[in-house]
Amino acid sequence: ELPVEVGDRVAAGTPLLQLKPDRTQAEANAAAASIALTQASRRSAEANILTLEADRDSAEAEVVLQEEEFRRTSLLVEEGAQSQQALDRVTRARSAAVSALNAAERRIEAARTQLEEIDASLAQAEANAAAVQTDLADFQVIAPIAGTVGDIPVKVGDYVESGDILTTLTQNQTLELRLAMPIERSLELREGLPVELSVPTLEEPLARGALSFISPRVDADSQVILTKAEFANPGNRLRDGQFVEARVIWEEQPGVLIPTSAIAYIAGQAFVYVAQPAPEAVEPGGAQQIAEQRPIELGEVRGNQYQVLEGLQPGESIVTSGVLNLSNGAPIIPEIEPVSLSPTQ
């Protein structure tokens, strides 16, 4: 049976597939019947013990009565009020009562032994039933987590074997990424380090997460440390099994990012042209700004942008095109609004 379809959202514990459990179901029914039969035998044994205990109580009362009769008769014989034959009769009756009591005790003991054997059989029957139920549960595939049902390559009536993939269940709300870290970074590793995910076709990171696990061991062959990072995925931008580029952020500091097209080089020194107000009035329609050549120190490149470590401040405007045609103090007539730098990390 296939109670779900591809793409269904299911909760944990939802049956996904049901295999045909004919033989195991018959075994389960037989195990249940064995338990019921053994329980009936146990109830009968308990009832028998109650009856035997009642008989024992009666035998005990008879022994008490015969003991009292023996005491009275013994006194009368000593006083000559009764014959020795009367005492002999009372003695025999007392012995018979004691024998009956002992027999009742033995019957109770035997019945209790039988009850213990029945209890052992019941425990064995329940264990067998539990084992069969466990086997029976193996014929039903249950969702271990909430998620989305993937492809179901089987259909009703197919024969399957152990190891066959029947379907998949994917939960994309929180994803885990395995990262192999070089052992040289071991002293810098700590849980909570930020990790960014990206793909080459996009400039902006796909997601940002943090290290959640650091292995205490080093892989003997590769000499790397296994770490894991978790990522929330509210917009489903990430997919299970997706290959991504990961950037571990070892430390953060304020800075700015500028387009690579805004950078010029002179003798290996990176420059940008900062838009500054013109020093004197110009005719209407003329340049209101001039280009100020400023050396900068670059950091890492991120896509089409460079990190600027020194030389620029947030809020300054720079020229982002045609920089090869500019010189220090050259007038600027922008075609569009100048780019205003904003803080980043």
Q: Which residues pair with 128 in a beta bridge?
A: none
Amino acid at 263: I
> From CA 167, how far away is CA 140, in angstroms rounded?
13
> From CA 321, how far away is CA 303, in angstroms rounded?
17
> In the predicted model, what is the mean pLDDT of the chain?
86
**Bigger pLDDT: 20 or 209?**
209
> From CA 285, how far away is CA 133, in angstroms rounded?
89
Q: Specify the pLDDT at position 344.
A: 54
Residue 280, pLDDT > 80, answer: no
Joined together, the tokens standing for residue 286 give 């003329």
pLDDT digits (tens, 9 = 90+) for 182-196: 999 999 999 999 999
pLDDT digits (tens, 9 = 90+) for 167-183: 988 888 888 999 999 99
Task: Please state the rounded mean pLDDT for residues 278-287.
Answer: 60
> From CA 138, how far away is CA 155, in angstroms rounded?
18
Task: Please state the rounded mean pLDDT for residues 188-212.
Answer: 89
> From CA 340, how far away is CA 323, in angstroms rounded?
16
Nearest to 199 by CA among 253, 159, 238, 158: 238
Q: Which residues pair with 10 in a beta bridge?
A: 147
CA 220 to chain centre: 28
Q: Specify the pLDDT at position 31.
A: 85
Q: Give the pLDDT band of residue 302 (cuts 50, 70, 90).
A: confident
Q: Specify the pLDDT at position 335.
A: 66
Q: Looking at the whole model, is its pTM more than 0.75?
A: no
CB 18 within 8 A of CB 3: yes
Q: Specify the pLDDT at position 278.
A: 82
Q: Which residues pair with 141 in a beta bridge?
A: 17
Q: Specify the pLDDT at position 336.
A: 58
